[in-house]
Amino acid sequence: MDFDLQVKLAVYRHFAETGQRPKPEEIAERVGAGMGRVLDAYRRLAGLRLLVLEDDGSSIRMASPFSGVPTQHVAEADGIRYYANCAWDALGVIAALQKPGIVQSHCEQSGEPLHLEVGPDGPGPSEWLFHCLVPAAHWWDDIVFT
Partner 1 sequence: MRPLVSMDQLWTLATRWYATRLQEESRRPRPDEIREIFAGIGLVGDFWDPKSDNFG
Nearer Cβ to partner 1, position 16 or 28? 16
Closer CB to partner 1, residue 36 or residue 139? 139
**Is 95 a residue that touches partner 1 (CB under 8 A)?**
yes
How large is the C-alpha radius of gyration of the chain?
Answer: 16
125 DSSP assignment: S
* Contact between 45 and partner 1 per CB under 8 A: no
| Residue 61, number of CB atoms within 10 A of its CB | 17
How many angstroms separate the first and last alpha carbons of the chain? 32
Compare residues 23 and 99 and give the one whose CB is closer to partner 1: 99
Least gap, CB of 40 to partner 1 (angstroms): 20
- Considering the rule CB under 8 A, would residue 130 count as an interface residue with partner 1? yes
110 touches partner 1 (CB under 8 A): no
Q: Which is nearer to partner 1, 35 or 97 (CB)?
A: 97
12 touches partner 1 (CB under 8 A): yes
Quote the CA–CA distance of 69 and 22 in Å, as a whole number: 11
HSE of 43, CA atoms in CB hemisphere, 13 A: 8
Handedness of CA 19, 123, 105, 139 (dihedral sign): positive
Query: Can residue 46 be called a binding residue for partner 1 (CB under 8 A)?
Result: no
Residue 47: what are its φ and ψ, rounded to 5°? -65, -30
Residues that bind partner 1 (CB under 8 A): 1, 5, 9, 12-13, 16, 48-50, 64-65, 87-89, 91-98, 116, 118, 122-123, 126, 128-133, 135-137, 139
